[in-house]
Amino acid sequence: MTVNYGGLRKGMAIEMDDAPYIVLEYEQRKMQQRAPTMRIKFRELTTGRQVERSFSGYDVDFKIAQVERRSAEYIYQDDNLYYFMDTETYDQFPLSDDQIADALRFLVEQIEVDLVLYRESPVAIELPITVNLEVTETVPGVRGDTAQGGTKPATLQTGLVVQVPLFVNQGEKIKVDTRTGQYLSRV
């Protein structure tokens, strides 16, 4: 099954060079009396690297990759392998830290993720939009420090450092956006 540039959507899985890619961004430009050009930013699912490519013309067709998503739970780490358990079949799937490098700063035990399988083997995970993480280290906020809302750095249980409001203290749980890595609210 194929899709042309008009049917391309963000987050769609396509196959190029015998490897699965996820569309991160795309932009179409049409210059006067010329065929349109498309600039597409992809993430290769097997390696996690990002690729940007340009295509020219109306006849660009992309093969849709046959990827499957299963609900899974992160259970433990052993050396550089991270193990996820399918929540329906209880099968365990190992993924290397190279395959999930972007997700490591949000990964805590028992977090629910979507396991992405390509040709029946796991290639990546998709995190939920938000995760709840504990603040392990931050300086105490002093009342009256600012006239407006100020921020301070906070280290979370995964090692991620985010800017939080002054009222957030050590030991509290906060909600973090996994797309941007920013503080959203207290839990």
Q: What is the pLDDT of residues 109-125, one digit of tens each?
A: 999 999 988 888 888 88
Residue 62 token pair: 């992309």
pLDDT at site 38: 83
Residues 142-158, mean pLDDT to the nearest whole number: 77
- List beta partners, residue 19: 16
Percent of the chain at pLDDT > 90 equals 40
Q: What are the CA-CA distances from residue 136 to residues 77, 115, 119, 148, 158 (Å)? A: 20, 28, 40, 25, 9
CA–CA separation, 176 and 187 (whole Å): 10
What are the phi and psi torsion angles at 111 (to 5°)? Answer: -80, 140
Q: How far is CA 100 from the centre of its chain?
A: 9
CA–CA separation, 39 and 178 (whole Å): 25
**Domains of the chain, first to last:** 2-64 (2.30.30.30), 67-126 (2.40.50.140), 130-186 (2.40.50.140)
- Count of H-run helices and E-run strands, the chain: 0, 16
CA–CA separation, 119 and 128 (whole Å): 23
**pLDDT per residue as tens digits for the range 53-108:** 888 776 678 898 888 999 999 999 998 899 999 999 999 999 988 788 788 899 99
39, 29 Cβ separation under 8 angstroms? yes
